[in-house]
Structure 1
Amino acid sequence: MQVLKTHKTFEGKTQFWEHESVSTKTKMKFSTFIPAGPVRGCLIWLSGLTCTDENFITKAGAQKVLAEKGLMVICPDTSPRGLQLPQEHDSWDFGSGASFYLDATTPGYRDHYRMETYIADELHSLIQKEFNVPANKISIFGHSMGGHGALTLGLRHPQKFVSVSAFSPIVNPVNAPWGVKAFTGYLGENKTVWAEHDATELVRSGKRHPQALLVDQGGDDEFLTKGQLLTDNLTKACKEASQKLEVNMREGYDHSYYFISSFVENHIEFHSRLL
């Protein structure tokens, strides 16, 4: 691993890294905040469409409460970079910056867009080996596409993530325009396979996380009104399946990092209690 930049922050360090990924066969970047004292656990943050490893670490204002709780955060990039795959750079909601945190199966993408393996296996191991965080002290959260990633990876790998939370997540992508476009491009036409990467469908199929899932959703989120997020579908599925879920509808808030920064402390405290 190579450190690209370091900034002292609340007596700890905000750092930006690059490494060669076995999963994606490309260089991958991530950012971290590591508190000055003993590290009690690690949160993996997954960002949304068009984002990079820098969005959360520079905009969310999370370092102060992370330092107080003795938690580090690691924020991977949202897709592999430096490739020239078909349609990869043609639109903002598919390809570069829009991996949907799954392992693709379509030609070209299946060789590099292996983000589930990258997060759940490679990054999970890297956190243990390079930052000395035990395997049972790792949790996951994210925003929008990254909220989708946090929920689906948490439900698919509950033994790897102590707790799971999300801001404005795409909870039912098989029924949302963003998800239909991405899943067709990454997974092909088989909608049975799509359902394996959809939080609502995973809960309906019997997948569970032992802890309650935490979701915060802005009431004035333009993507909620456009049918991209479908929060109520997850609420209904969890109620029917007895999966514990807490949804906080935050009136007046939108989809931006202004919303995330307003409630990120609540999410960090949620994870801190369970870690």
Structure 2
Amino acid sequence: MTNFTLPALPDGIELLSQHASFGGLQQFYRHASTEIGLPMRFSVYLPPQSLTGEVCPAIFFLAGLTCSEETFMIKAGAQRVAAREGLILITPDTSPRGANLPGDSDAWDLGVAAGFYLNATAAPWRKHYRMESYIVDELRHLLLPLLPIDEKRLGIMGHSMGGHGALTLALRHPGVFRSLSALAPIASPVSCPWGQKAFQAYLGDDQVSWAQHDASILMSQQQQAPYPQGILIDQGDADQFLANQLHPHLFEAACNQVGQPLTLRYQQKYDHGYYFVSSFIEDHLMHHKQHLQ
């Protein structure tokens, strides 16, 4: 670790803590976000290769409902694999915090910790709930000059609401992310209660705009396979949300329609939580490593 010196941090960004982990560094940051208009937090894992000056590929992980920038880093057990493979991991928070909007803390599936990785267009959410622009534009460009990241080797993955985010951001911003995977994603938000509730609040009544944030619809509109090297999705067959909320079969049908290679694996006896995520995280990181060579 002695070879790595963190560059001088720009105004408005603060390193809150860092911890040695598998020869690398686990870091937690806070910064003043211009897109969100509030302080935002994110976490970074730097593998040992990056600490000796090597420029490494980076994977954005988007977490699910009720989670924060800490959840994946604490629960998934990803650092061991990332250290071995030389992968930088980046996890943003799941929503703005501190906006104090009416009703933003009344339910676990809307508002705080439930930003759905889109830019809200309806009041009162539209001022602060701009997670799509925050991740793709602000956070990405903030980190590229700060950390030893190869900007041409970026991947994105996520779990549950974050799986929805990973799929939709990858499809909505072609060329930004070279590799893509998801664990138990909300694969068709327009078809499930979680998505309908969020989209009604954040986007209003215009269901045309809803479709622009639905991974299954977005995939069905592709003229050719956007990820010809393949997309990986794992889904527990004992997931309590599978039947009513997740609908991976709709995304699978859309992939088949446009010739997008998809590996959709139903894992027997696994539910929706981080015991499931941690069981298959190595497969996902290796999927990204393979396509970020």
TM-score normalised by L of structure 2: 0.91
1:10 aligns with 2:22: yes
**What residue is the counterpart of 1:33 in the other structure?**
45
Unaligned runs of 5+ in 1: none
Shift of 1:127: 2.4
CA distance in 1, matches of 2:271, 2:68: 20
Which residue is equivalent to 1:152? 168
Quick one: which amino acid aligns to residue 219 of structure 1? D
Given that 1:142 and 1:167 are in contact with CA atoms closer than 8 Å, whether structure 2 keeps it comes out as yes
1:118 offset after TM fit, Å? Answer: 0.5
1:173-192 counterparts in 2 under 5 A? 173-192=189-208
1:121 to 132, 137, 140: 137
| Structure 1 stretch displaced more, 162-171 or 238-247 | 238-247
Q: What is the CA distance between 1:107 and its match in structure 2?
A: 1.4
CA–CA distance in structure 1, aligned partners of residues 268 and 62 of structure 2? 24
Which range moved further: 2-11 or 181-190? 2-11
1:240 is aligned to 2:252:
no
State the secondary structure of the residue aligned to 2:48. coil
Q: Which residue pairs with 2:179 in the alignment?
A: 163
Alpha-carbon distance in structure 2 between the residues aligned to 1:157 and 1:244: 19
Instruction: Say which structure is richer in helix.
Output: 1
Structure 1 match to 2:6: none
Report what 2:8 is aligned to. none
Residue 28 of structure 1: SS of its match in structure 2? strand
Match of 2:234 among 196, 199, 216: 216
2:106 is aligned with 1:90: yes
Deviation of the 1:157 alpha carbon: 1.0
Residue 280 of structure 2, aligned match among 236, 256, 263: 263
The question of 1:65 aligning with 2:77 is answered no
Provide the aligned length of Structure 1 versus Structure 2.
Answer: 274
Q: Which moved more, 1:182-191 or 1:238-247?
A: 238-247
- Residue 240 (structure 1) shift: 1.2
Distance in 2 between residues matched to 1:132 and 1:67, nearest whole Å: 14
Q: CA deviation at 1:109?
A: 1.1
RMSD: 1.0
- Partner secondary structure for residue 176 of structure 2: coil
Out of 174, 194, 216, the residue aligned to residue 210 of structure 2 is 194
Inter-partner Cα distance in structure 2 for 1:237 and 1:86: 37
| Structure 2 Cα separation of the partners of residues 92 and 7 of structure 1 | 30
**Partner AA of 1:221 in structure 2:** D
> What amino acid does structure 1 have at the position aligned with 2:214?
D
Deviations 1:124-170 (A, max 9, x none): 11221111313211110000000000000011112100111000000
1:20-59 CA-partner distances (Å, limit 9, x unpaired): 1111011000111101222421110100001000100000
Specify the SS of the correspondent of 1:136.
strand
For residues 148 and 24 of structure 2, what CA distance do their matches in structure 1 show?
16
> 2: distance between equivalents of 1:43 and 1:126?
15
Determine the C-alpha separation between the residues in 2 that align with 1:122 and 1:259. Answer: 31
* Structure 1: 4+ residue segments shifted above 4 A: none
CA distance in 1, matches of 2:87, 2:261: 24
- Work out whether 1:42 is the aligned partner of 2:58: yes
Task: Name the % identity.
Answer: 47
Helix, strand or coil at the partner of 2:68:
coil
The structure with the larger Rg is 2
- How far apart in 2 are the matches of 1:201 and 1:122? 26
Per the alignment, residue 5 of structure 2 pairs with none
With the length of structure 1 as denominator, give the TM-score of the two structures: 0.97
